[in-house]
Structure 1
Amino acid sequence: MTKPDEVRVGPIAPGVVDVRSRGGRYEYLDALRGLAALAVVLQHCSELAWPAYARFSGTHFGAGMFGVFVFFVVSGFIIPASLERGRSLGAFWVGRFFRLFPLFWGCLIAAMILHSVGRFSLQAGLLADPGWHFATNATMVQFFLGAPNTQVIGVAWTLSYELVFYLFVSLLFLGGLNRRSVPLAVLAIGSIVAALFLPAAMVNGPDASLASRLMVVAATLAVAVFFARRAASSRSAAAAILLASIAVPLVLNQPGPSSYSAMIFATMFVGTVLYRMTAGEISTTLGWGVFGFAAFVIVGFKFVVEQPHWDPAIGAWIPWWKEAVTMACAYLLFAAALLLRRYSFPRPLLFLGRISFSLYLIHALVLGAIKPWTTSVLGIPAAWLTWFTWVLGSIALATLTYHAIEKPFHNLGRRLMTKMDARPRPETTPVA
């Protein structure tokens, strides 16, 4: 997920529209992140408190998936602006590190401590080799390095996609292609269908073979050479080779259906197109056209490919349209917020947007650490007491970690970035 402080960037072209801001932060982006984080928290708390809700979310509308795809659109919208506002690539990555890793590592350590005292459950795959899997989790790309059942914090799978997206945006920046957002988005949308023929986990999966690994090597070399040749200097070329050598094998080793991963990356690139539109770099017609095309392809893909299937975990049939409706609603929410960006949003949503990264990670620890109520109190059923305890406890603890961990490291990262930007650089501008 993109960090909430990144709404400080200026992705709106002067004179195009008056955008409501508070404290230097665009309200509509904070509100979107607040709604997305709240949706994920409510999904996980509700499905544990009421099994009937788990069946509903599995068959009709997944609030958690909805929130996650809102995050992905916001990431695609914000990250290019953060990278392109006159900073070096090194300063950009320093900012990424201090925004994401201190809190993430703190949550990993807290999860292990809670597990040692019996207050947090670790997945079976992780327990088979806890040292190795904890180390892979610390990289934040754990979802692409092993099976999904080796994650310390389950919701952290989205962070792996975020980090790989940063890698690809950095590659595009080095190659001078970062502003070609429309063709890149169309290519990413088209890859949703193409990915049907791409196997999962091509490096270390159970079905990985010599042929699949050679394909990964060939793809990595092709991408590395392409961007190295477009780089403005030998130093940028070396950086491009390094980034390609990391990003391409990771993407081709993703453990789930390749088309689902393609949908995630396409969603991020669609967010970038909307950023170009609001920045005045492309027309409104073109921006919304790409947006609608992506939504149409995703829904159409689900209609053609997705088959109703039985989910034994919830004991219900999953219809083809469930994920399509959920993703489409995430797109529509972002579009609505973008159209309403000149208006003010409720302060509680802005507050949740500010602490959204903490809330997203911390609630997973709260669900494991705080045991459910077993009896009613003052006529309030135990399930409702449990639900309120989890939700309010997550918000309270996220507020604490935001002020104790996130914000101080944000400030440290900004200071380091300012120093790096102030240094004279012999070559930092990519080819046009």
Structure 2
Amino acid sequence: MPAQPRMAWLDGLRAVAVLLVLYAHVSRYVLTDVRAFTAEWLHAGPAGVMLFFLVSGYIIPASLERHGSLRRFWVGRAGRLLPLYALVSVAVVALGFFRPADPVTATVAHATMVPFLLSEPLATPVFWTLAFEMVFYLLVTSLFAVRLHRADAVTAVLLTVAAVITAPLAPQAIRTPYAALVLAAGLAAVLSGRRRVVIAGAMVLGGLALALVTAGGQPSHAWDGLLIVAVMFTGTTIHRADTGQTGWWPVAIVAPVVAAGLLTNWFAELASLDALTPRYMARSVITLVVFAGAFAVGLLTRRWRTPSWLAGLGMISYSVYLTHYVLLLVMRPLLVHDAAVIAYAGTVLIVSWITHRYVELPGQRWARRMSDVWEKPGRVPPSHASLRG
């Protein structure tokens, strides 16, 4: 059987994740009868984003370690995420869906990509997940700079224990101007290439990440903010075992610990809402089983050929994720019959293919060119090369 390009099984998982999120959002307006049943037993949206987080945890640190360069990593992340993120942000403002009371603060907050963890209104609700992705990147950067990047299993366990002990968090304490300045200073230091400066910057970024996830954000994730990051480090732990860097015993420890932490805090949140009923407890368990089980199935069948339509959807999943909610707002007046979901889904796929082709891919090509120019022989200080490990 000929090999598929890229890691097609991960694209397949991204497709499953984005379909779960898409269903969670569109079923508020159509397919409501289906939602009335499924919502009693499954949190489709959280299952989808948790699957995204697992995939990110699996692949992102591996990309950094493969190149051994924090410069290349951050330039690559910028080229991958920022162009479409900026386009969607501008679009929601132009369409009148986002009118912040303080445009300057809103712009600065969104430029950091962590507005959700700065208690700022979001241009579009789906941006909240990118804030946790950024926290993960900052922590990975910090660990890599001090040569502790293989401590993912320990990090996942520590985050889980901290999450259970400290929940619920009391967020909304980080202010945008200070966070933006710290982020800019930390990234500038990390990109400098001078080892001592890089380490200092990385420590600043790691501290900022922990502050954001514990003292920033919205009450909606006061119970599981730290656990989201623990889920991503679980994905990294799985990657190391899957590629032979470690045995599978760390996964056998980390996965149950993080799963137990999730259920503990989800149940505690239900109790705080006087909703700790057998049905809602079952829904929490099923949600966990769905995203963890989907990842396990993908991992176990990764050598099988992923259906081309599923892999294709996964390749444009970032575009689908960022554009689908804007299109939902635009097309909402038309979503009066269940059959309208076909027109909506078709529109999302067409727009997402266009944005992937003409926004995402050029951004990625730019990032590769910039990285190659920046790291030509003779332009990278020896101290920067010494960060490999």
Q: TM-score range by the shorter chain?
A: 0.7 to 0.9
Q: What are the residue-to-residue correspondences of 1:228-243 with 2, within 5 Å?
A: 233-243=195-205
Q: Does 1:22 find its partner at 2:8? A: no
Residue in 2 that maps onto 1:265: 229
Provide the aligned length of Structure 1 versus Structure 2: 372
Q: Which residue of 1 aligns with 2:271?
A: 307
Letter in structure 2 aligned against 1:422: K
Q: 2:289 maps to what in 1?
A: 328
- Counterpart position of 1:199: 170
Structure-2 residue corresponding to 1:78: 59
8 Å Cα contact 1:373-1:385 kept in structure 2: no
The 3-state SS of whatever aligns with 2:172 is: coil
Post-superposition shift, 1:41? Answer: 1.1
- What residue number does 1:155 align with? 126
Which residue pairs with 2:381 in the alignment? 425
Which range is displaced more, 89-98 or 42-51? 42-51
Q: TM-score, normalised by structure 2?
A: 0.86
User: 1:386 aligns to what?
Assistant: 340
Aligned counterpart, 2:118: 145
1:255 paired with 2:218, answer yes
Check the 8 A contact 1:267/1:294 in 2, yes or no. yes
The structure whose residues are more often helix, as a share, is: 2
Displacement after TM superposition at 1:365 (Å) = 1.2
Which runs of 5 or more structure 1 residues have no equivalent in the other structure? 1-18, 116-120, 206-212, 375-381
Q: Within 5 A, what are the aligned runs for 1:163-202? A: 163-196=134-167, 198-202=169-173
Query: 1:192 and 1:349 mapped to 2: Cα distance?
Result: 35
1:351 to 305, 308, 312: 312
What's the CA shift for 1:328? 2.8
User: How far apart in 2 are the matches of 1:137 and 1:338?
Assistant: 34
Which residue of structure 1 lines up, in the alignment, with residue 322 of structure 2? 361
Question: For structure 1, which segment, 353-362 or 388-397, has the greater mean C-alpha deviation from structure 2 after superposition?
Answer: 388-397
* Distance in 2 separating the partners of 1:52 and 1:130: 39
Deviations, residues 55-77 of structure 1 (Å, cap 9, x unaligned):
44543212111110000001111
Task: After superposition, give the CA deviation of every residue in 1:123-152 in whole Å (9 maximum; x if it has no partner).
Answer: xxx5433443243223211101124xx111
User: Structure 1 residues 300, 239: closer, same or farther in 2, change over 3 A?
Assistant: closer
Contact 2:56–2:235 (Cα < 8 Å) also in 1: yes
Cα 1:53–1:363 shift into 2, 3 Å? same
User: Whose Rg is larger?
Assistant: 1
Relative distance call for 1:233 and 1:369 in structure 2 (3 A) is same
**Alpha carbons 1:308, 1:317 under 8 Å: kept:** no
CA contact (8 A) 2:160 2:230 kept: yes
- 1:396 paired residue number: 350
2:224 and 2:265 in contact (8 A); partners too? no
Say if 1:241 and 1:283 are closer, same or farther in 2 by CA, change over 3 A.
closer
Answer whether contact 2:164 2:264 (CA < 8 A) is retained.
Answer: no
- 1:67-121 deviations in whole A, cap 9, x for unaligned? 1000000111111101101332111100000000011000111111112xxxxx3
Equivalent runs, 1:203-214 vs 2, <5 Å:
203=174
Change (3 A) 1:418 1:232: closer
